[in-house]
């Protein structure tokens, strides 16, 4: 065989090998805490379908329930590779602020959830756009790629006892509603709230006990879908802080996806994020309406009261920073204030 033919055969082989690699199926295993049939669940499955179509079936996703896997800390163990070169049990997850902080503490994501720092979706979008590079860089250094940021909802308080001001609310014994990390509870506790940490499967039992807690904090979706709202009588009608969520893939999993598909895939992610943001107010209102039908009374602070609450929480920030190491990063907190034009004394 002539040298020319040998070269042609080798080149043909390389082309075939490259084609085979490019067409290799990528099956992503992703944990999610989205309740079944919730807007979040519907959108994540729509994204999986769209990614499959964009890649002509090359990329597929199977979602696994985070709670069934033991919670976010358990998922983090499964998303980390146990041995160099060995693929982890999970390729990614949709984490709340809790999981995101455990995954990349240097990103300081808890700072985004400090009470009254970010007060509406427009402000949240502004902050995430402004600090997107810094946040994602911290995750890349930890071995992960943040595919999307989104907002699960806004923290509120749900109680059996009526309250008419912030000081009265602080005296009510509140459960942390089964959060995997005590940081948020510790932050509220440092601000003067009566917070009791407890696992998720004990919250309902404690609420129904005469000697148990008198309320819990969480988002409207959590309160209604879990049925905990049936055990309370009052809810605070105010946006305390956003509950950030992030779709995260390991660097290894993201690298398995051919680069030519990534721009279209990320465009699909952005469309999903916008739909979720636009639907959040509507879905929250549905949960509020349903809870009202169950007999829950929503206590709405006046604008003047909200200003006072804002000042009170701002005054507690230094106390939280001293009392709860790792709860927030003060330089990052001040940068967010400056970005939103909210320099506070």
Any domain includes 130: yes
Q: Looking at the structure, tell me whether residues 184 and 316 fall in a common domain.
A: yes
Q: Looking at the structure, tell me whether residues 34 and 100 fall in a common domain.
A: yes
Q: Starting from the edge strand earliest in sequence, which strands make up the sheet with 26-32, in order?
A: 59-65, 26-32, 92-96, 242-250, 144-154
Any domain includes 259: yes
Any domain includes 343: no
| 148 within 8 A of 51, measured Cβ to Cβ | no
Task: Provide the pLDDT for residue 9.
Answer: 44
Any domain includes 335: no
Region 88-102: mean pLDDT is 92
| pLDDT surpasses 70 at 201 | yes
Q: Looking at the structure, tell me whether residues 249 and 230 fall in a common domain.
A: no
Q: Looking at the structure, tell me whether residues 118 and 225 fall in a common domain.
A: no
Any domain includes 20: no
**Domain around 221:** 156-241+288-329
| pLDDT surpasses 70 at 13 | no
Spatial neighbors of 298 by CB under 8 A, at least 6 apart, are 234, 235, 236, 237, 288, 291, 292
Global confidence as pTM: 0.83
**How many structural domains is the chain composed of?**
2
Q: Looking at the structure, tell me whether residues 292 and 302 fall in a common domain.
A: yes
Q: pLDDT category, 34, cuts 50, 70, 90?
A: confident
Q: Looking at the structure, tell me whether residues 33 and 106 fall in a common domain.
A: yes
pLDDT digits (tens, 9 = 90+) for 134-173: 999 999 999 999 999 989 889 999 999 999 999 999 999 9
Spatial neighbors of 324 by CB under 8 A, at least 6 apart, are 183, 186, 187, 190
- Tokens standing for 258? 């051919």
What CATH number corresponds to the domain at position 273? Answer: 3.40.190.170
Any domain includes 345: no
Any domain includes 2: no
Q: Looking at the structure, tell me whether residues 140 and 186 fall in a common domain.
A: no
Q: Looking at the structure, tell me whether residues 198 and 307 fall in a common domain.
A: yes
């Amino acid at each position: 065989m002539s040298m020319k033919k040998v070269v042609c055969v080798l080149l043909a082989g390389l082309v075939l090998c490259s084609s085979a690699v490019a067409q290799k199926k990528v099956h992503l295993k992703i944990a999610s805490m989205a309740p079944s049939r919730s807007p979040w669940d519907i959108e994540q499955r729509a994204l999986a379908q769209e990614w499959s179509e964009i890649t002509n079936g090359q990329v597929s996703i199977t979602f696994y329930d985070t709670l069934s896997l033991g919670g976010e800390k358990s998922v983090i163990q499964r998303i980390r590779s146990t041995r160099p070169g060995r693929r982890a049990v999970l390729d990614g997850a949709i984490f709340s602020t809790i999981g995101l902080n455990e995954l990349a503490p240097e990103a300081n994501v808890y700072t985004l959830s400090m009470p009254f720092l970010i007060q509406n979706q427009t402000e949240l979008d502004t902050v995430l756009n402004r600090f997107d590079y810094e946040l994602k860089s911290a995750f890349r250094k930890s071995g992960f790629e943040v595919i999307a940021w989104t907002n699960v909802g806004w923290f509120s308080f749900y109680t059996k006892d009526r309250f008419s001001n912030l000081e009265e609310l602080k005296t009510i014994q509140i459960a942390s509603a089964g959060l995997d990390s005590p940081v948020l509870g510790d932050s509220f506790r440092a601000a003067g709230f009566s917070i009791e940490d407890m696992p998720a499967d004990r919250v309902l039992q404690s609420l129904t006990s005469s000697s148990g807690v008198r309320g819990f904090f969480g988002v409207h979706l959590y309160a209604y879908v879990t049925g905990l709202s049936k055990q309370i009588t009052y809810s605070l009608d105010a946006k305390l802080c956003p509950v950030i969520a992030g779709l995260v893939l390991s660097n290894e999993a993201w690298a398995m996806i051919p680069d030519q598909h990534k721009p279209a895939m990320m465009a699909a992610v952005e469309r999903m994020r916008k739909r979720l943001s636009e639907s959040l107010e509507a879905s929250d209102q549905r949960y509020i309406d349903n809870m009202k039908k169950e007999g829950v009374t929503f206590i709405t602070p006046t604008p003047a009261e909200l200003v006072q609450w804002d000042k009170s929480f701002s005054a507690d920030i230094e106390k939280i920073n001293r009392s709860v190491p790792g709860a927030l990063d003060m330089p990052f907190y001040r940068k967010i204030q400056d970005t939103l034009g909210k320099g506070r004394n």
